[in-house]
């Protein structure tokens, strides 16, 4: 049983290294990041729409992007 526990913990640690949690941002930081990534070519309204479609809320105040910028 001990060897199984050690093997499972090692596998979980490796999985965490391979697939780390994505960075999260508050709404306004995410919006600013999106606008900067497009060299300011988006209006604020357009950026808000794209942010709504291209992110997900991970907790009450944080968002992560669901696509490449």
Indicate the domain borders of the chain: 22-69
Residues 54/58/62/65 CA torsion (nearest 10 deg): -20
d(CA 53, CA 15): 28
Digit-coded pLDDT (tens) for 32-43: 999 999 998 999
What does pTM read for this prediction? 0.66
Can you name the residues that pair with 65 across neighbouring β-strands? 55
Q: Is the pLDDT of residue 68 over 70?
A: no
Q: Quick one: tokens of 59?
A: 């907790």
Report CA Rg, the chain: 18
Digit-coded pLDDT (tens) for 3-30: 999 999 999 999 988 888 889 999 999 9
Whole-number pLDDT of residue 22:
87
Mean pLDDT of all residues in 45-49: 96
């Amino acid at each position: 049983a001990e060897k199984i526990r050690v093997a499972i913990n090692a596998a979980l640690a490796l999985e965490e290294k391979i697939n780390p949690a994505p960075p999260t941002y508050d709404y306004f930081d995410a919006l600013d990041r999106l606008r900067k990534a497009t060299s300011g070519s988006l209006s604020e309204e357009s950026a808000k729409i794209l942010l709504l479609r291209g992110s997900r809320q991970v907790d009450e105040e944080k968002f992560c992007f669901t696509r490449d910028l």
